[in-house]
Structure 1
Amino acid sequence: MVGAVLAPFTFGLSFFLLGMYAMRTGFQNLAGKKMADWLARFTRTPMHSFWVGLLSTFVLQSSSAVTVLTIGLTHAGMINFAQTVGIILGTNVGTTVTTELIALRLETFAVPMLLAGVALWLMPNRLTRCTGLVVAGFGLIFLGIDTMQVMAKPLQQSETFRSLFLESRHSIWLGLLTGTVFTGLIHSSSATTAITMGLMSHQVLSMETALAIVLGANIGTCFTAVIASIGTNAASRQVAWCHTLFNVAGALLFLPFLTQLAAISAALTDSPSMQIAHSQTIFNVVCSVAALPFAHQIAAVIRWIVPDRRKT
């Protein structure tokens, strides 16, 4: 059991960090004035940044991928932290498509992206080589996430984790913790949501507890961003912690209203699985839209929590 969990985690984390290094190197070499101006133009306001984050996540079907990309861009100095708050809010809305279309697996593109990146890196043109590093880096990141998800099967078969999911029906706080821990371990909020949907289909959990697990999954998915920020500059760490603290705050604010959220979702559909998907969509849309007008204030708070020591 230990080996079945530890080996995928070790290899997956190694792939992930190597991919981050390759992607950062590629972006740093591509960080010319024209590209910086282009990015600044499309993220010059929180609303523009919001749509960039939403559409990027909609296309990639992974908020983690977009957050990792944002951290890479920030570390390369192509955008500043204030411009990323809107992107983070947008990713939370865009990621709801993943829940609605839970069968879609972005990780299937990992090997093709890695091979394409290596092929581009072997080209003589400098711009093409740097682009290849970015593409290969993303391929390694997805390969790392996919490798770490191998842990899901032995964990699902573990009596400890099965008991944890079953005990969650007695407490929404335990449900929140279950979703957070499980997602943090397997790096997939979609997998946690799928397990929750399966338990709901057998009427193991109440809808309120199932929704608490899904809210916890929103927190657990931030673990990927925190890993991605290791060894980066202050602005990149601010991106990771902004994503994390925003999801934590949103989950805690919504927790007392899970009964009302469940009632609204039940009015939209009779399917328990779709109710979970719709509830996550409502949660993310409400939190992000409500926070968007205060993007500058949120950025100021995060800078205070995660200061740049070099400027003090």
Structure 2
Amino acid sequence: MPEILSFFAVYLTVFIFGMTVMRLGMEMLAKDKIKKILLRLTSSPFMGVVAGTLLTGILQSSSAVMVITIGLVATGLLTFPRSLGIILGANIGTTFTTEIITFDISNGVIPLLVGGAFFILLRKQVFFNIGCMMFGLGSIFVAMAGFEQLASSIEKLTLVTSVFNYANELHYVGIGIGTVVTAVIQSSTATTGIIMSFLKQNSLSVDAGIAIMLGSNIGTCITAFIASIGTKKEAKLVAYAHIWLNLLGVIIFYPFISSLGNLAEYLTAIPDVQLAHASLLFNVICTVVALPFIHLFSKFIIKLHGANDKNLSPF
């Protein structure tokens, strides 16, 4: 058991390292354009969604976009109501990575790593950035292959077997698992990637995988909440809104987990792709439902968490 857990920790570290390096390359390519895009494309909630989706797709991290958004609100460059569209878009953009890691590029992993390392060693900044993106993506696929190899061994552990049995029978257990694991490792994508490995081994049902994925949407809010500590009231509202939007989305979707699973199974027969599609569908549907009520939601958050601050405007 210690050996299995050690390997699991190593692969998890490689996965998060890959995400960080790939995000670094993409972020450095975009440079100051990221903040400019957020400021320019938030004139309406819909444009905020577009900006949040695009930038999260670029940075491969909804948490990074949330931290940037909180920073902009804290400095007064962006108002709280205009940040709500970004939050919804970030939830959609983070699903791009889960779709990417379902691709089978086993023959291309070594070229990605070698090519990435070569570009990193070059002096030109643009090559360095491209190298980071390639090496990071290669590392992610190495970690995914490792998770898949370990899945069959991990599922045989008594504790894991018991937890999986509960998760397969009770959806709220899966949501709890996803919430806790994501809060600890601070990456909903890593949580989803791990679950994909178990889905391939048929250790978990698609419904259980979806429940854990829903929980990861709650757990990922911890990063934005931590980033808001010590900031002004309006910046804290961004973190609160992130929590409420994700929490309400999970609560509303909870009775329809099986229906979402059936739809994912209709779209594809491949378990890990089913989970990736389910994640995308969940976040898109939540955004479409929430977008028309975004101003009412803004008032709700201000009333609940900022009622004593007369300087806060719901518009």
Partner of 1:256: 255
- The separation in 2 between residues aligned to 1:225 and 1:262, in whole angstroms, is 29
- Where 1:205 maps in the other structure, the secondary structure is coil
236 and 256 in structure 1: CA distance in 2 versus 1, 3 angstrom threshold: same
Partner of 2:283: 284
Q: Does 1:45 align with 2:44?
A: yes
Task: Using the TM superposition, give the Cα deviation of residue 170 of structure 1 relative to its aligned residue in structure 2, in angstroms.
Answer: 2.2
**Normalising to structure 1: TM-score of the pair?**
0.69
Task: Using the TM superposition, give the Cα deviation of residue 197 of structure 1 relative to its aligned residue in structure 2, in angstroms.
Answer: 1.2
The one-character-per-residue Cα deviations of 1:77-113 (angstroms, maximum 9, x if unpaired) are 1101011011111111111102112389xxx9xxx9x
- The separation in 1 between residues aligned to 2:232 and 2:96, in whole angstroms, is 31
- The separation in 1 between residues aligned to 2:188 and 2:79, in whole angstroms, is 28
- The separation in 1 between residues aligned to 2:220 and 2:191, in whole angstroms, is 10
- The separation in 1 between residues aligned to 2:63 and 2:162, in whole angstroms, is 28
Task: Using the TM superposition, give the Cα deviation of residue 238 of structure 1 relative to its aligned residue in structure 2, in angstroms.
Answer: 0.6
- The separation in 1 between residues aligned to 2:203 and 2:98, in whole angstroms, is 20
Q: Does 1:74 align with 2:80?
A: no
Contact preservation (8 Å) 2:66, 2:87: yes
Q: Does 1:170 align with 2:169?
A: yes
- The separation in 1 between residues aligned to 2:38 and 2:59, in whole angstroms, is 18
> For residue 270 of structure 1, what is the amino acid of its counterpart?
A
Task: Using the TM superposition, give the Cα deviation of residue 205 of structure 1 relative to its aligned residue in structure 2, in angstroms.
Answer: 1.6
- Where 1:311 maps in the other structure, the secondary structure is coil
Q: Does 1:91 align with 2:90?
A: yes
Partner of 1:294: 293
- Where 1:72 maps in the other structure, the secondary structure is helix
**Normalising to structure 2: TM-score of the pair?**
0.68
Unaligned runs of 5+ in 1: 6-29, 113-151
Task: Using the TM superposition, give the Cα deviation of residue 167 of structure 1 relative to its aligned residue in structure 2, in angstroms.
Answer: 3.0
Contact preservation (8 Å) 1:169, 1:204: no
Dislocated runs of 4+, deviation >2 Å: 38-42, 156-167, 308-312
Task: Using the TM superposition, give the Cα deviation of residue 252 of structure 1 relative to its aligned residue in structure 2, in angstroms.
Answer: 1.1
- The separation in 1 between residues aligned to 2:163 and 2:185, in whole angstroms, is 15
> For residue 92 of structure 2, what is the amino acid of its counterpart?
V
| Aligned pairs (5 A) from 1:128-277 | 163-277=162-276
The one-character-per-residue Cα deviations of 1:226-248 (angstroms, maximum 9, x if unpaired) are 11111111111110111111111
What is the RMSD computed on CA atoms of the aligned residues?
3.5
Task: Using the TM superposition, give the Cα deviation of residue 186 of structure 1 relative to its aligned residue in structure 2, in angstroms.
Answer: 0.8
> For residue 187 of structure 1, what is the amino acid of its counterpart?
Q
| Matched positions, count | 243
Unaligned runs of 5+ in 2: 10-31, 104-115, 121-146
Contact preservation (8 Å) 1:49, 1:90: yes
- The separation in 2 between residues aligned to 1:103 and 1:92, in whole angstroms, is 19
- The separation in 2 between residues aligned to 1:281 and 1:214, in whole angstroms, is 11
- Where 2:54 maps in the other structure, the secondary structure is helix
- The separation in 2 between residues aligned to 1:88 and 1:200, in whole angstroms, is 29
262 and 65 in structure 1: CA distance in 2 versus 1, 3 angstrom threshold: same
